[in-house]
Amino acid sequence: MSDEQQSLAIVFADIVGAAELYDSLGDEGAQKAIEESLGHLSEAVRRNQGEIIKYIGEELMCRFDKPDHAFFAACEMQESANLEANPDLRIKVGMHYGPVIFQSGDLFGDAVNVAARMAGIAMAEQIIATQDFVEELSPENREYAKVFDRASVKGKASVIEIYLIMWESEEEITTIGAQSFHEESEQRHSMTVSLDDEVYLVRSGSPFVIGRGSQCDLALPTTLASREHVRIECRRDRFTLIDQSTNGTYVRTEDGNVVYLRREELILWGQGVISLGAPFDDVDGLYLHFDCG
C-alpha cells in the first residue's frame, strides 16, 4: 500500500458546550443536538469542496485542496452554529496548511498535529489559523485574518505566528482588530508550571493546555488525565485554570486549601500544586507545581 503526500488545508471543528448539554437535555436529547450540529458542519464542508476525514467524538476533521475553500467553510460553520436553536452549543475551529500523508482514507503528519493544536488554542466562536494557512489565502480573504498571537507547538523548534479569522460583522472586526498582538513580550504577564525538574512558561497571550494528548503543551503520561485535561488562560492579568476533563482536577492553593474542579474554573494565585484526576493522597498522582509570580 503506497502513501500519497500532498499539501492540503487541514481543519478541525470542535463543538463546545457538549458536557453542559448532557446535563440539561439528558443523554438522548444531547446526542440528538450534537448529531444535528455535526450535520450542519458536514454540510458546510461539502458545500465548499472539502472532504470529511473523520469524526472524533464532538470534533470533525476535514481537508481542502485550497485554503480559500477551507476559509469559507469555517465561516459557514460559525454562522450556522450561531443560527442553531440551542445556545449552549458553540464551535471552535483550527486550521493549518502543509504537507500531509494520505493513507487509507486518513491523514498523517506534522501538519495534522499543528491544525489540531490550533483548534486547541481556539475559544468558542473563534477560527484560528497558522501563518502558513493565511499566506495561501487570496488577497481578499487574507484581509479577514488578524495577527493574534505566537504559540509553541510540540515538535517545532520555534514558535509559530497564529491568526484570528474575523468572520463576524464589520463592526466586530474593527473592534477586535484594534487589539492585535504586540511583540513586546516583556510587557506580558507570565507564570510557570513545573513537573520534577522541567519548568514550562505560561504566557498571557496564549492558552496553555495540559493533558494526556501529544498535542498538549504539557503532555503527561498518566491514564488519569483526559486528552486535553485543563487549560490555563490569562484574563485581565489573572491566570485561570479551566477543567475540561472526565476525572476532574485538584488544586492545592498557597493557603493550604484543596479545591476540586470538574468542568469548572479557578483563578490561580501565588504558588500551589495541581493534580490531574487524582486526590493528593493518591499514590498514583502526578503533581504539577505552579507559580504566578
Which pLDDT score, from 0 to 100, does residue 175 have? 37
Q: Are residues 162 and 190 in the same domain?
A: no
With a cut of 70, which residues of the chain have pLDDT below it? 1-4, 82-88, 152-158, 168-189, 236
Q: Are residues 169 and 209 in the same domain?
A: no
Helix (H, G, I), strand (E, B) or coil at 150: strand
State the chain's mean pLDDT as an integer: 83
Total domains present in the chain: 2
The answer, as to whether pTM is greater than 0.75, is no
Residue type, 283: V
Q: β-strands 238-243, 265-267: how paired? A: antiparallel
With left for phi above 0 and alpha for psi between -120 and 50, is residue 43 left, alpha or beta?
alpha
Q: Give the alpha-carbon dihedral of 145, 147, 148, 152, to 10 degrees.
A: 110
Range of the domain at 9: 4-177
Task: Give the list of residues 6+ apart from residue 293 with CB closer than 8 angstroms, or none.
Answer: 189, 190, 191, 192
- CATH at 143: 3.30.70.1230
Which pLDDT score, from 0 to 100, does residue 184 have? 37
Q: Are residues 108 and 217 in the same domain?
A: no
Which pLDDT score, from 0 to 100, does residue 285 have? 86
Q: Are residues 210 and 243 in the same domain?
A: yes
Q: Are residues 283 and 198 in the same domain?
A: yes
Q: How many other β-carbons are positioned within 10 Å of the β-carbon of residue 69?
A: 18
Q: Are residues 163 and 244 in the same domain?
A: no
Which pLDDT score, from 0 to 100, does residue 186 have? 36
Q: Are residues 33 and 161 in the same domain?
A: yes
Q: Are residues 12 and 87 in the same domain?
A: yes
Q: β-strands 208-211, 190-195: how paired? A: unpaired
Q: Are residues 12 and 111 in the same domain?
A: yes
